[in-house]
Structure 1
């Protein structure tokens, strides 16, 4: 793998896809190399890549992320897709070659690194910000800011969703979106929330709002993100998340938590305290410089379910009852204080086994929830495929608990900052709300897959 262009962490053992480990990529790759034994080219997951001669490597056809996303063969990412455009190398190259660079960092990524390094989240946030600023990045932003925009729209969207179209499914998880588009388009796509994920909202904020406020065109700005999930790389490649009428992506590059840790671990200068980096711009754009990162009530997956319940109770009243159904499922019911009738039913569903059970109940019209916070990874975003991994199962469970606990301790806030930016954004673009939503489309499948978990 030395010449593959991957960082050390983007290797077959570290990615958890949701397809069987022996499935081949169905894209009809062809090369100009004539082999003695003619075989169908394969992209096998969790297998080491055979070393090819240099001249053969040059003639091989590569699969882009856009190709992978449009393909109807896999459920989510294929681990050996050549993601050169979503690597640390491309990120650093983009920082150098664009007039302005902005990095969005997920708080889940910061907390995962903090647990690994046995540092506080504030210390790690400052170290990450300094690492990027020394390389020419102008702003390093906490993605929680964009999540505030998403949360502010949840109740409005749910209220406008008729009971016959419920449950409404959260849309922050790209693994779930890919699964829906490629496997259950007719059933799931009409029910997926149209609110963008925090990464996608940050893309619009940076390219459509911040760029112009700073005097740049969207094409002059490089925007990258650090995320706990490899599927976020595919999300950034979606056609729906490009500047209207152009091929300019709102998020140019995504790297995982583990990729960033590998890079900053090489950075000896980053281990020194040094002088505090000078900050510029508003607080929401400079929060990581000062070690300020923000969490949410309701856990490290973003607290979507809790926010829906909170907004409903504030408006309508009611008694909240929470039940843990299993390790990766929660039920939250709001009951009328007068009659005891359930007036809102919200749940959390993490992991594909539970997702399949949910889909089965929806097909049979036995699912009675109004809203589902749904994540492809067991354990949710704290346990994303791009997070820091550990050797033994016991250590993994302990560290996951540490990540969740440290996330829970993060301060709350940013609501006032979000409202200020919303007003300013609306002033420069009356139709800014269109940039907070997206859509989905089913991918017609012409291959059969026997998926088992």
Structure 2
């Protein structure tokens, strides 16, 4: 299980999640600038007949935290993603922790199910057993954390003044990086403060579960399998560290394609019909039984549809959706009296995001809430999903992934029951627990120009 080097499934064409990055990292340029200043100082010292030796500069090492703080490109370099977030790190974390938890995205499950020609339910069992055979304690579905996010959507929209709308979803880390580095002043004040399901799961594990089990957060290892490479960047954010420590709430993220490669390498080709015995069914072990909870509104989380359904439940009215193209949808809610009371949109893919930004700049965008995803096709087509060779095959498989996702169980009452139980228990442990469900973002100042002046 040792990391054998660079994964064959990670390629620069996928890393960008369709937001084309500047592939030349500028941080080494900043180092060259410093080196030039050192050489200039040496020349000056020589002229002054000073023979002191200056300390040698260590080789530059770039981390994901550097990438988040740098405005040189939208996402990260391939080698940084692999070195810091890989199965090598995952297995090391599992073996060295007292408690290990792996979060699996439903989009990952459906992507692998299509590739291996099985059902999402059997794929969930197979993934769960793959990790549990390697001494992972819990393998869970991120749907439970998504339910936390959904519960807070309409409340956040109500608290957002009309002048700060549209409220933009924040579950896509590729879009968040783009907003921070390209249009911070315009977009950052409008981005939702609700954490993504991955980040909420990290809080549940490193704060709620740690206190419940009387463990230190550093004794727990939490990894996630996601359809998006930029989730590796998200996990590295300072906002998602345990208070006062350097412990990340999500220690490691690997992609759907990386999981497939690892499972194939371990020769897990047989179909598993049953599952090992597990404790009573709840959010920590339902996945081991093949129970995956989907939601209305498609494979990108259903944020826009949840806003609409909750708004109608509260205020009445009817909704109508207009499809402008396969990556752009507008929904209006009309009151019984005929007035338009809510406008929401789904905007997928960088081209549509750019058009959204232009309309916001000219104040022509009249929506109240926008579900934004950087990848065309949304999360089902994330850059970390299983890839195929031809365009035709990719489109065919994407359609199957979306169909599988849409056919997942919509038993939200199961999530609601677990949500009530965990919420009440968390409240008894920490009355300020709600702070772990929110985050904040800030503009990343441009440093490209300064770096290129060397």
- TM-score, length-scaled by structure 1: 0.89
2:404 aligns with 406
Could you tell me how far apart the structure 1 residues matched to 2:59 and 2:10 are? 20
Could you tell me how far apart the structure 1 residues matched to 2:152 and 2:133 are? 36
Q: Is the 8 A contact 1:18 1:75 kept in 2?
A: no
Identify if the C-alpha distance between structure 1 residues 19 and 140 changes in structure 2 by more than 3 Å, giving closer, same or farther.
Answer: closer
1:233 aligns with 232
Q: How large is the Cα RMSD of the aligned pairs?
A: 2.1
SS at 2:371's partner residue?
strand
Q: Is the 8 A contact 1:17 1:78 kept in 2?
A: no
1:199 aligns with 198
1:8 aligns with 8
Q: Is the 8 A contact 2:329 2:347 kept in 1?
A: yes
1:150 aligns with 149
Q: Is the 8 A contact 1:17 1:79 kept in 2?
A: no
Could you tell me how far apart the structure 2 residues matched to 1:22 and 1:376 are? 16
Could you tell me how far apart the structure 2 residues matched to 1:61 and 1:446 are? 17
Q: How does 1:410-429 map to 2 (within 5 A)?
A: 410-412=408-410, 413=412, 414-429=415-430
Q: Is the 8 A contact 1:425 1:432 kept in 2?
A: yes
Moved more, 265-274 or 226-235: 265-274
SS at 2:100's partner residue?
strand
Q: Is the 8 A contact 2:7 2:82 kept in 1?
A: no
1:164 aligns with 163
Q: Determine if the alignment matches structure 1 residue 74 to structure 2 residue 77.
A: no
Measured after TM superposition, the shift of residue 84 of structure 1 is: 1.5
2:41 aligns with none
Q: Determine if the alignment matches structure 1 residue 325 to structure 2 residue 324.
A: yes
Could you tell me how far apart the structure 2 residues matched to 1:415 and 1:82 are? 35
Identify if the C-alpha distance between structure 1 residues 293 and 19 changes in structure 2 by more than 3 Å, giving closer, same or farther.
Answer: closer
1:90 aligns with 89
Measured after TM superposition, the shift of residue 114 of structure 1 is: 0.1
Q: Which has the higher helix share?
A: 2
Q: Is the 8 A contact 1:63 1:82 kept in 2?
A: no
Measured after TM superposition, the shift of residue 19 of structure 1 is: 5.4
1:388 aligns with 386
Measured after TM superposition, the shift of residue 22 of structure 1 is: 6.1
Could you tell me how far apart the structure 2 residues matched to 1:342 and 1:218 are? 48
Q: Alignment partner for residue 348 of structure 2, among 338, 350, 353? A: 350
Q: Is the 8 A contact 2:347 2:373 kept in 1?
A: yes
2:284 aligns with 285
Moved more, 343-352 or 414-423: 414-423
2:442 aligns with 441
Could you tell me how far apart the structure 1 residues matched to 2:13 and 2:324 are? 31
Q: Is the 8 A contact 2:21 2:75 kept in 1?
A: no
2:365 aligns with 367
Q: Is the 8 A contact 1:17 1:77 kept in 2?
A: no
SS at 1:186's partner residue?
helix
Measured after TM superposition, the shift of residue 274 of structure 1 is: 7.9
For residues 290-333 of structure 1, the C-alpha deviation after alignment (integer angstroms, 9 at most, x for no partner) is 00111110000010000000000000001111110111000000
For residues 14-58 of structure 1, the C-alpha deviation after alignment (integer angstroms, 9 at most, x for no partner) is 434455566411112659xx9xxxxxxxxxxxxxxxxxxxxxxxx
SS at 1:271's partner residue?
coil
Identify if the C-alpha distance between structure 1 residues 365 and 22 changes in structure 2 by more than 3 Å, giving closer, same or farther.
Answer: closer
2:309 aligns with 310
- TM-score, length-scaled by structure 2: 0.89
Q: Is the 8 A contact 2:89 2:252 kept in 1?
A: yes
Q: Determine if the alignment matches structure 1 residue 300 to structure 2 residue 338.
A: no
1:140 aligns with 139
Could you tell me how far apart the structure 1 residues matched to 2:102 and 2:20 are? 34
Could you tell me how far apart the structure 2 residues matched to 1:16 and 1:28 are? 20
Could you tell me how far apart the structure 1 residues matched to 2:392 and 2:114 are? 15
Q: How does 1:14-29 map to 2 (within 5 A)?
A: 14-18=14-18, 20=20, 23-28=23-28
Q: Is the 8 A contact 1:76 1:231 kept in 2?
A: yes
Measured after TM superposition, the shift of residue 284 of structure 1 is: 1.1
SS at 1:103's partner residue?
strand
Measured after TM superposition, the shift of residue 403 of structure 1 is: 0.4
Could you tell me how far apart the structure 2 residues matched to 1:105 and 1:405 are? 19
Unpaired segments of 5 or more residues in structure 2? 36-57, 450-454
Deviating above 6 A after TM superposition, structure 1's stretches of 4 or more consecutive aligned residues are: none
Measured after TM superposition, the shift of residue 8 of structure 1 is: 1.6
Could you tell me how far apart the structure 1 residues matched to 2:325 and 2:226 are? 26
Q: Is the 8 A contact 1:258 1:386 kept in 2?
A: yes
SS at 2:28's partner residue?
coil
Could you tell me how far apart the structure 2 residues matched to 1:268 and 1:342 are? 56
1:247 aligns with 246
Measured after TM superposition, the shift of residue 272 of structure 1 is: 5.7
Identify if the C-alpha distance between structure 1 residues 206 and 282 changes in structure 2 by more than 3 Å, giving closer, same or farther.
Answer: farther
